[in-house]
Amino acid sequence: MNGIGLFGIITVCSTLVIFIVCIVLYCRIQTKRHFKCPHCGARFKVAGMRTFFASRQGTDRLLSCPQCGMNCYMENIPDEEYTEEMRRADAERRRQEEEEDGE
């Protein structure tokens, strides 16, 4: 094998490795983040691989909401910003909505 061919293989391999490392790192970051639907306020987690290739706008990703089915840009929020207090407020709001639906 000549030098140019070897150089080409090294270039392709290192590009692939960098790409894979990027995806792995991105997936790890996404396990600590979630998305918020601007339409119904639902919060949900999506596998990192799915959002990596999704259309993006800053940190927002084009996804469909599992709760209302809305297809729009979802805000990507770190889990630590979603505090226990907010979680409780959301649970309370959901409970009230269910009660209203029951009537």
Residues that bind Zn ion (CB under 5 A): 37, 39-40, 42, 65, 67-68, 70
Tell me the sheet residues that pair with 44.
35
Q: How far is the CB of 36 from Zn ion (least distance, A)?
A: 9
**Cα–Cα dist 76/46, whole Å:** 10
Going by their DSSP bridges, the two strands 71-78 and 33-36 should be labelled as antiparallel
User: Whose CA is closest to 50, among 67, 20, 26?
Assistant: 26
Of 25 and 40, the one with the shorter C-beta distance to Zn ion is 40
Of 67 and 96, the one with the shorter C-beta distance to Zn ion is 67
Of 27 and 42, the one with the shorter C-beta distance to Zn ion is 42
Chain mean position to CA 15: 24
User: Whose CA is closest to 34, among 66, 101, 82?
Assistant: 82
Of 55 and 67, the one with the shorter C-beta distance to Zn ion is 67
Q: How far is the CB of 77 from Zn ion (least distance, A)?
A: 14
Q: How far is the CB of 100 from Zn ion (least distance, A)?
A: 18
Q: How far is the CB of 90 from Zn ion (least distance, A)?
A: 13
